[in-house]
Chain A
Amino acid sequence: MQSIELHRIDYAILIAYVAFVIGIGWKLARYMKTSSDFLTSARSIPTWVTGLAFISANLGALELVGMAASGAKYGIATAHFYWVGAIPAMIFLAVFMMPFYYGSKARSVPEYLKMRFDERVRALNSVAFAVMTIFASGISMNALAKLLNQLLGWNYNVALWVCSGVVLLYVLKGGLTSAIYTEVLQFFMIVLGFAPVVWLGLKDVGGWDKMTTALHGVSTENGFKENAWSSAWQPLLGGPAANPMGVDWFAMIFGLGFVLSFGYWCTNFLVVQRAMAAKNMTAARNTPLVAAVPKMFFPFLVILPGMIAIALTSMPDKGYRVPPPIVAQANYDKAVAAVKNADAANPAAGVAAVGEALGKKVNAEKVSVLISTVAGFKGAPNQLTDTQIQSGLYNSIAEYDYDGVILSLVKKYCPPGLLGLALTALLASFMSGMAGNVTAFNTVFTYDLYQAYFAKGKSDSHYFWMGKVITVVGIILSIGAAYFASMYNNAMDIIQLVFGFVNAPLFATFLLGMFWKRTTGTGAFLGLFGGIAGSALFHAMTIAKGNVPGVKGGYLGVHQTFPSDMAQNFWLATFAFTACFVLTLVISLATKSQKSDADLKGLVYSLTPKIVDNNIPVYQRPAVVGIVLLIVCVILNFIFW
């Protein structure tokens, strides 16, 4: 039902984008002379470029789709994923952590871990990271191919291979620089492609105030206080039962704002790599700060559409609904037949038959009306056509596919032309999601696994060649991962679950490693392991309300029930972090450090000379800019209090 017809103008825009992206790769190819040019951009890129790439590497298409979905499901509190769950961590990375990453001359995050601790920690981190990037890239490509298949009717396999091929072309030619440049291009595509959709949507709904009023209605209808969708903090303070996310402020601030957020922004090589490609220390430190500016305002681009959608749904005259889950045409055909054959005198049986044919929950009242309308006009010249019946059925499905929100708005508000622009933006973000992961993967694989364990001491041209081979291998593995994700329904759930286990404790290792010189390699290694095991165990023994034990947790017996998936997730992260922190601390105290103070110079806070910022202008000093950004972020929180 959600198919979209593209015109020539739309294809022209799409082709122009792809041509430019490949062209950039071609242009850059002649600057690729060493493995460092290819894998780390030879630390040569200006701040505003690395900053926008930093934010863009994170703003994948799944994020775009997911944030609009959450905006519809949870309202403006979704913005906490930005204001609480990103900005503070990005500032911390810039001010405190970047000096060690950049100053240590490490080429990757795992390499830093090797310098600070030992080979074991590096091996654990690089293997886990390599596997994650492949799956992340595969998930992204699977989603893209599925989207093109459902939306435009393209063949899934063709879509998957062609899009991967485009990514391969430009990454293989221009390496990390190509990926970074494309990410900047994609950043502008997304902002300029989606801004008109938000603008038209907001106009259609009658402006901000009208939208808020409509959201008040939505909130009370769902059994919450009227500001549950339109206030960011007040519903959280009322406890898990007072907000649609089902979380409390402690889980939000500590679980999301501290553990998950710092774990992602400060240790994930995918984003940190962008900052490490900057041309000097000041540029590297300012990269996350440049990124924080658009990040702070992204909720208005990516979350607002979800809120507009849910407000529109509550206005009957707008003729909009949050799209239902996709139902196969065969099921619609069966349901249309069921409507026609239903006995108008006994609509209940008809409703049940229709629900069964569609395989979805239906709104009994709407189906009954449809049945009696069809029966009433039977045989008359103006009887309902099958298409009309089908669209009636579409509107009577009482389930929502929130992930379809953003596309349904694009479809509603974009004429041919603008439609091409918005779709190209979406496509661009899927592809750069793959490119970002593959460029992080080839660096870690080449330097941290291949050079470290398989082929030490080869010439640079050998590693350059290997980096290219690994890029091809990475793309092929991603395609494999995409097929894997498409074959099993809950593959994505499982993969994301494992990501969570691996990532949650990681920040404790970095925090102790960077700021406490007594932390030992053994402590870090065992602490990390314990944290991962701890989070798996925590997951096995807890569950969120409404889920059955299994993939969603609780398979070792339910010892704690959380009000929502999100609450379970935040508490799991909190638990994993604490476990890793305590274990690393205790084991470090019990073991002897293998590194002398001299070894740790430049790697640990207390043993590294402080960076003196006096020679750079005030507005470029990371600490100053960081404080200003933090203040603006607090003000935003107050405005939408």
Chain B
Amino acid sequence: MGLDIRWPIGLMFTVIGALLTVYGALKSAASTIPVAGTDHNINLIWGIVLLVFGALMLLGAVRGGKNPPSA
């Protein structure tokens, strides 16, 4: 079916990842949950994870061109 699904997946997670990363960077106090053993800025960390995932999907879509691999 004409649309390679990696495009919407990649774009969406890039957008959401960017939102989380920016929010985490600007509001580090509100992004840190004081849980035993962690004082990480979880929004920032997870935002970056989502960005990387989104970028990988986009990369796959670009390189796969019109013929997505059939796993």
Contact present for A418 and B43 (CB under 8 Å):
yes
Q: Which chain A residues border B2 with CB–CB below 8 Å?
A: 28, 30-31
* Min CB–CB distance B34 → chain A (angstroms): 10
Q: Which chain B residues border A31 with CB–CB below 8 Å?
A: 1-3
* Min CB–CB distance B29 → chain A (angstroms): 9
Contact present for B23 and A417 (CB under 8 Å):
yes
Contact present for B12 and A196 (CB under 8 Å):
no
Q: Which chain A residues border B1 with CB–CB below 8 Å?
A: 28, 31, 37, 41-42, 44-45, 177
Q: Which chain A residues border B53 with CB–CB below 8 Å?
A: 188, 192
Q: Which of B13, B16, B35 sits near A413, CB closer than 8 Å?
A: B35
Closest partner residue, chain A, to B69 (CB atom): A46
- Check: A334 CB closer than 8 A to any chain B CB: no
Contact present for B19 and A196 (CB under 8 Å):
no
Closest partner residue, chain B, to A42 (CB atom): B1
Mark each residue of chain B from 37 to 60: 1 if its CB lies under 8 Å from any CB of chain A, else 0: 110001100110110010000000
Closest partner residue, chain B, to A14 (CB atom): B16
Contact present for A418 and B19 (CB under 8 Å):
no
Contact present for A415 and B8 (CB under 8 Å):
no
Q: How many residues of A contact B (CB 8 A)?
A: 45
Residues 176-209 of A contacting B (Cβ, < 8 Å): 177, 181, 184-185, 188, 192, 196, 200, 203-204, 206
Contact present for A200 and B33 (CB under 8 Å):
yes
Contact present for A196 and B42 (CB under 8 Å):
yes
Contact present for A206 and B19 (CB under 8 Å):
no
Contact present for A17 and B12 (CB under 8 Å):
yes
* Min CB–CB distance B65 → chain A (angstroms): 13
Closest partner residue, chain A, to B41 (CB atom): A415
* Min CB–CB distance B60 → chain A (angstroms): 11
Contact present for A188 and B68 (CB under 8 Å):
no
* Min CB–CB distance B58 → chain A (angstroms): 13
Contact present for A20 and B5 (CB under 8 Å):
no
Contact present for A16 and B19 (CB under 8 Å):
yes
Contact present for A290 and B8 (CB under 8 Å):
no
* Min CB–CB distance A604 → chain B (angstroms): 29
- Check: A27 CB closer than 8 A to any chain B CB: yes
- Check: A48 CB closer than 8 A to any chain B CB: yes
Q: How far is the CA of A551 from the CA of B10 in the complex (A)?
A: 48
Contact present for A414 and B19 (CB under 8 Å):
no
Residues 274-332 of A contacting B (Cβ, < 8 Å): 279, 283, 286, 290, 318
- Check: A47 CB closer than 8 A to any chain B CB: yes
Contact present for B70 and A414 (CB under 8 Å):
no
Q: By CB atoms of chain A within 10 A, which of B8, B31, B38 has the most?
A: B8
- Check: A563 CB closer than 8 A to any chain B CB: no
Q: How many A-B residue pairs have CB under 8 A?
A: 110
User: Chain A at the B interface: mostly helix, strand, loop or mixed?
Assistant: helix
Given A48-B71, A188-B13: A200 and B42 interface contact (C-beta under 8 Å): yes
Contact present for B37 and A203 (CB under 8 Å):
yes
Contact present for B70 and A46 (CB under 8 Å):
yes
Contact present for A283 and B46 (CB under 8 Å):
no
Q: How far is the CA of A279 from the CA of B70 in the complex (A)?
A: 9
Given A13-B19, A192-B49, A204-B36: A290 and B3 interface contact (C-beta under 8 Å): no
Give the size range of B's interface with the partner.
20 to 34
Given A31-B2, A283-B70, A415-B31: A196 and B46 interface contact (C-beta under 8 Å): yes
Q: Which chain A residues border B47 with CB–CB below 8 Å?
A: 417
* Min CB–CB distance B39 → chain A (angstroms): 11
- Check: A24 CB closer than 8 A to any chain B CB: yes
- Check: A240 CB closer than 8 A to any chain B CB: no
Q: Which chain B residues border A480 with CB–CB below 8 Å?
A: none
Contact present for A192 and B50 (CB under 8 Å):
yes
Q: How far is the CA of A418 from the CA of B36 in the complex (A)?
A: 18
- Check: A549 CB closer than 8 A to any chain B CB: no
* Min CB–CB distance A30 → chain B (angstroms): 8
Closest partner residue, chain A, to B44 (CB atom): A417
Contact present for B8 and A185 (CB under 8 Å):
yes
Q: How far is the CA of A318 from the CA of B35 in the complex (A)?
A: 9
Q: Which of A46, A192, A206, A416 sits near B36, CB closer than 8 Å?
A: A206
- Check: B62 CB closer than 8 A to any chain A CB: no
Residues 1-46 of A contacting B (Cβ, < 8 Å): 9, 12-13, 16-17, 20, 23-24, 27-28, 30-31, 37, 41-42, 44-46
Q: How far is the CA of A13 from the CA of B18 in the complex (A)?
A: 10
Contact present for A23 and B20 (CB under 8 Å):
no
Closest partner residue, chain B, to A175 (CB atom): B1
Contact present for B33 and A24 (CB under 8 Å):
no
* Min CB–CB distance A279 → chain B (angstroms): 7
Contact present for A415 and B35 (CB under 8 Å):
no
Q: Which chain B residues border A51 with CB–CB below 8 Å?
A: 71
- Check: A629 CB closer than 8 A to any chain B CB: no
Closest partner residue, chain B, to A17 (CB atom): B12
Closest partner residue, chain B, to A28 (CB atom): B3
- Check: A421 CB closer than 8 A to any chain B CB: yes
Given A413-B35, A415-B33: A24 and B15 interface contact (C-beta under 8 Å): no
Given A28-B1, A203-B37: A20 and B71 interface contact (C-beta under 8 Å): no
* Min CB–CB distance A628 → chain B (angstroms): 15
Closest partner residue, chain B, to A200 (CB atom): B35
Q: Which chain B residues border A181 with CB–CB below 8 Å?
A: 3, 5, 8
Contact present for B33 and A13 (CB under 8 Å):
no
Contact present for A416 and B30 (CB under 8 Å):
yes
* Min CB–CB distance B56 → chain A (angstroms): 11
Q: Which chain A residues border B70 with CB–CB below 8 Å?
A: 46-48, 279, 283
* Min CB–CB distance A320 → chain B (angstroms): 11
Q: Which chain B residues border A44 with CB–CB below 8 Å?
A: 1
Contact present for A27 and B3 (CB under 8 Å):
yes
- Check: A49 CB closer than 8 A to any chain B CB: yes
Contact present for B71 and A12 (CB under 8 Å):
no
| A-B residue pairs in contact (CB < 8 Å), sample of 13 | A12-B19, A13-B16, A27-B3, A42-B1, A46-B69, A181-B8, A185-B12, A192-B49, A204-B37, A283-B70, A286-B71, A416-B23, A418-B43
Q: Assuming A17-B12, A31-B1, A417-B20, what are 12 further A-B pairs, CB within 8 angstroms?
A: A9-B23, A13-B16, A16-B12, A17-B16, A27-B8, A177-B1, A192-B49, A192-B50, A196-B42, A283-B70, A413-B33, A416-B30
